[in-house]
Amino acid sequence: MKKLPIHNRTYKAFLLSFKEWLGILGYSRSCIKYSPLYLREFFHWLENHGHYGLDTVTYKVISDYYQYLKQRPNESYGGALSNHTLNNHISAIKRFNEYLKKHNARPLSIHLRSEKTDKLDATDIVSQEEIREMFEAAHHSYVMPHVCLRDRAMLVVLYSCGLRRNEAVHLNLGDVLFGRNRILARRTKNGRERHVPLNDHNMEILEEYIYDGRPIFYKADQTEALFVNQQGGRMGGQSFKLRLRAIIKATGNPELMERRITPHKMRHSIATHLLENGVAIETVSRFLGHSSLESTQVYTHLIKEEL
């Protein structure tokens, strides 16, 4: 979406102003980042269909665009876009409509309902045996050993720590507290820092990466980022997803490779495994950084269904 070209000056101005407006209103970082990207795809489609101004965008035009989205391939995984992604597109256009209203512009005619999203099910959970396979596969997931060490450290923060992808991306070297067997998650969803405990084995994996693997990355000594990419910068969220996919491929497990395992599903997995092993739901909730128990209870429902 980021690379989709738009030529209309009004559309370009809308994108810049819309993003600034989201920031002023205090929307989340992910919303500020991705809503303009969804809107860019909408503008790109409008231009390709002869709509160089919003005055020609009718209810039918938006309905036709939504039908296009339903048929557009998923660039990351193949197949169609998920209901969750479709809802993100709808939300971005609705937010833009609110922006138009607040700026005394003619609003768009939108009557789109959100799609039902599939609830969490067993296919979203990586089993403990599959987790062991992934850690083992990370020994040979890339031709360069220092990348393999980074892959193992990445599994530690995504699974063993249950961090969200954005939390993992923004970890710094100083956030690994060796003397306390803790990781400090700073860039959390609710804005509250939290300490995540780790056992000695996982701390050894992080230590091996930090002292033996990380220094080999280009310009690693010039950044505080825990996870460094091949260009010497902070490893991004997309890179986490791609490396996770490479680790899964290295397992040689065809069933695991067929499932769309994402960094967030690793978080789902550790939550489920902790509850299965008798950890109190209140403890799991604090571990995950949930603001309420309601967010954690989805895992208890899943375990009951499996039983």
**Residue in 95, 164, 243, 273 annotated catalytic:** 164
Residue 189 catalytic? yes
78: alpha, beta or left? (left if phi > 0; alpha if psi -120 to 50): left
Q: Closest Cα to residue 226, out of 210, 240, 212? A: 210
Residue 264 catalytic? yes
**Residue in 189, 194, 234, 259 annotated catalytic:** 189
Residue 299 catalytic? yes
SS3 call for 225: strand
C-alpha–C-alpha distance, residues 145 and 129, integer Å: 24
SS3 call for 10: helix
Where do the DSSP E strands lie in the chain? Answer: 176-177, 182-185, 194-197
Tokens of 135: 């850690």
**Residue in 40, 95, 267, 273 annotated catalytic:** 267
C-alpha–C-alpha distance, residues 222 and 148, integer Å: 21
Residue 267 catalytic? yes
**Residue in 146, 259, 264, 286 annotated catalytic:** 264
Q: Which residues form the catalytic set?
A: 164, 189, 264, 267, 290, 299
